[in-house]
Structure 1
């Protein structure tokens, strides 16, 4: 598969290779070889024919660009591929050539090839997800007690823990990794139905042949041909899209926190990364840029898959072909975003002091709710609310911090002074004390996430089967 220079910026060479021409054609030949061997084992074709067929099911024996060119005219890549395979087998055994692709159809070989390519692609995603999970878990652990501003509606809200924020980035990725595996367990299945999905040519041996082909390729045996039943397959595509959306959210937060005016985080720099020839003071968040660009493209591909589900009768006209074209870009974007974010978090700079300065710049206003709740116990909620409302206006007009104004108000009011502990009140304006609820919650959630990550690391569902 060729991609434009602009596409290549948003993905990785490894994911391009997973869906390139050689990978797809090679997977098609693997299917044909497995089909022939399975049919021989079930007595559908002679063993000698299966050996002759499997012996030339090697992509490097064929002119792949010529096959692709011919496929455009034929309406399916499978047609010229089977024709060339038949011709090649006939060079050695004319009788064996009669049994090539026996009882199968074009969609069988193409769908199965795409399933095999997708399994390799899922392994790439799983590896990157595992790596990013390690980075984020370590970041969260290190910063459980690091105060940072939480922001809602793009405005400063209250103090939270940076570790809590990192756990919020990690959690959907752990869920995505598990969901991809669970969905793939259903979707990575053999396609083998013959002309109209009934395996009629193979008669009673059809089911047994399908079981043998699936075993050779390491795929699930489908309940029946899914030529136009695309629900499980499209559901897998949707999980990839959801993953990419979660990566876009992470990249959004990272890029906002890396803005010069905020400067709480910074992506790695140096060796030409993220620089500007005209503005040397800039430290551009290149990884965030790639992840955001990749995630922005994903909804259109996901929507196209859904739009292609209304396939006609037993074989789709146009919609299946469109689905094939829309499938690889989902994985290209997801892997590009994952790889970019792994680069970022492998060398992320966290500026704790800047986080504290950004909190301090708000002059105590982010602690107003805690102070109001404490005062409500002394003078009642209405009075506490009215007092804090007036004092917050003075913070803005006078430029004095809220904690100082509140301490003065307590000292000046005998009723307040009798019920308010100034030392306890001061702790409400301590960023480290304020983050404690977030720290406790993040620590508990992080333990659970790490346990789930360890469980996922013990299995490797996308490893290639040995179908030689």
Structure 2
């Protein structure tokens, strides 16, 4: 600040030079500058989040009823739809957007003077701390705080939380795409993957990888900023200074993640045939939950569980589909087993939930 004040004083000349930095302290200027940088940096982040959510909304609408395996703890659980998965991704992106918008709207100027009392401004003739701060905020295009926040670091903590949440949200999308684009699964693919230096056949999911990496780095950067909330005295030594590098890096990291997420969502290729093929990997056992619900009233809960447990074992041991084994059970001869064992017929309210999610703007 010292050379900056000298240069500004020279630049404005007389009679304005004596008014440069009169009453303020270095932290007033640097904190305000930080808020201005953050506000400007969040603009492209929000633009890229908007691109991402629009692309995901299109995917959710197109694939509203496209069945695919739902996976829990890495294993196929019950069928779901890709539309519902994409709608879930979009919901997270909108959550991140809303948090960033709220934080951006409240980013404040800093004005407190040497120890947060505005004493020098009063000595130079200011009659109202509120009017002074509000005038400064209007000029800067930022919010007017109720108090100087030299050691009240809520704005930085809120910004850190919104950025880390956004990075984690986009990392969730990246992690899912990394899983679904595995060679053995092949249900989605990045529109333009990265090449390999040694293996010409590979199309690496580069954007998803960058999102996953950002999601792992962001929480630690935010943790440093949260640690700086414990700032001593009326102006701190160390806590404030420790904010500068992690906040700058967190803004850059989240901005890059938002850009990569937009490119990923807009170019994502969905392989509905692979999804349908993978639904058959369990030989029909992916709908065992449904069969339990249907057979329990007919056979009794204990008998239904015993039967399905035995048939599941046989499906694995004999390599036969569950539907075929069920047709051999005399107790079930009159049932529509084709419908009951069809994964596409057991996606619950996925379509309705997708529709509801897409109503959100």
Q: TM (normalized to structure 1)?
A: 0.74
SS at structure 2 position matched to 1:319: coil
Whole-angstrom distance in 2 between the partners of 1:162 and 1:429: 20
Shift in Å, 1:436: 4.1
Is residue 371 of structure 1 aligned with residue 291 of structure 2?
A: yes
Q: Deviations over 1:66-114 (max 9, x none)?
A: xxxxxxxxxxxx122112222333xx42x43222111111001110011
1:295-310 aligned within 5 A: 295-310=215-230
What root-mean-square deviation, in Å, do the aligned CA atoms of Structure 1 and Structure 2 show? 1.4
1:409-420 aligned within 5 A: 409=329, 413=330, 416-417=331-332
Aligned counterpart in structure 2 of residue 440 of structure 1, from 345, 352, 357: 352
Q: Deviations over 1:437-456 (max 9, x none)?
A: 22222222222x2xxx2xxx
Aligned counterpart in structure 2 of residue 106 of structure 1, from 26, 39, 54: 26
Aligned to 1:430: 342
Aligned residues: 357
SS at structure 1 position matched to 2:114: coil
Is residue 181 of structure 1 aligned with residue 115 of structure 2?
A: no
Q: Deviations over 1:14-45 (max 9, x none)?
A: xxxxxxxxxxxxxxxxxxxxxxxxxxxxxxxx
Is residue 212 of structure 1 aligned with residue 132 of structure 2?
A: no
Whole-angstrom distance in 2 between the partners of 1:174 and 1:397: 46
| C-alpha contact (below 8 Å) 1:200/1:206 kept by paired residues | no
Is residue 195 of structure 1 aligned with residue 122 of structure 2?
A: no
Shift in Å, 1:309: 1.3
Shift in Å, 1:205: 4.4
Q: TM (normalized to structure 2)?
A: 0.95
Shift in Å, 1:382: 0.7
Shift in Å, 1:369: 1.2
Q: 429-438 or 317-326: which moved more?
A: 429-438
Is residue 336 of structure 1 aligned with residue 248 of structure 2?
A: no
User: Unaligned 5+ residue runs, structure 1?
Assistant: 1-77, 454-468
Aligned to 1:264: 187
Q: Deviations over 1:379-416 (max 9, x none)?
A: 1111001000000000011000001101111xxx2xx2
User: Unaligned 5+ residue runs, structure 2?
Assistant: none
| C-alpha contact (below 8 Å) 1:267/1:347 kept by paired residues | yes
SS at structure 2 position matched to 1:309: coil
Whole-angstrom distance in 1 between the partners of 2:151 and 2:256: 30
Q: Deviations over 1:343-369 (max 9, x none)?
A: 122111111111111111221010111
Whole-angstrom distance in 2 between the partners of 1:156 and 1:333: 33
Aligned to 1:84: 7
